[in-house]
Amino acid sequence: MAGTIRKLLISTVATKLIQEARKPQNQAKAKKLFADFQAKRSGKRPGGTNRY
């Protein structure tokens, strides 16, 4: 019984996440977040300076 409820909850959350990801304003936010994450991992900063 608990496994069925857990699967239903996960399915509901996944559906909502997909619906939100399709919205243009959220796509723009996701692209910016991804670009910032890549810049952070590569050590490059938008201002052209490194922290370290």
Q: What is the pLDDT of residue 43?
A: 75
Domain coverage including residue 24? 1-43
* Integer angstrom CA distances of residue 41 from 13, 17, 32, 37: 29, 25, 14, 6
On whether residue 27 sits in a domain, the answer given is yes
Is the CB of residue 14 less than 8 Å from the CB of residue 7?
no
Query: Structure pTM?
Result: 0.49
On whether residue 48 sits in a domain, the answer given is no
CA distance 4 to 1: 5
On whether residue 1 sits in a domain, the answer given is yes
Q: What is the pLDDT of residue 1?
A: 78
On whether residue 52 sits in a domain, the answer given is no
Does position 51 have pLDDT exceeding 80, yes or no?
no
On whether residue 51 sits in a domain, the answer given is no
Q: How many domains does the chain have?
A: 1
Task: Return phi, psi of residue 48, to 5°.
Answer: 85, 5
Q: What is the pLDDT of residues 31-50, one digit of tens each?
A: 999 999 999 888 755 565 55
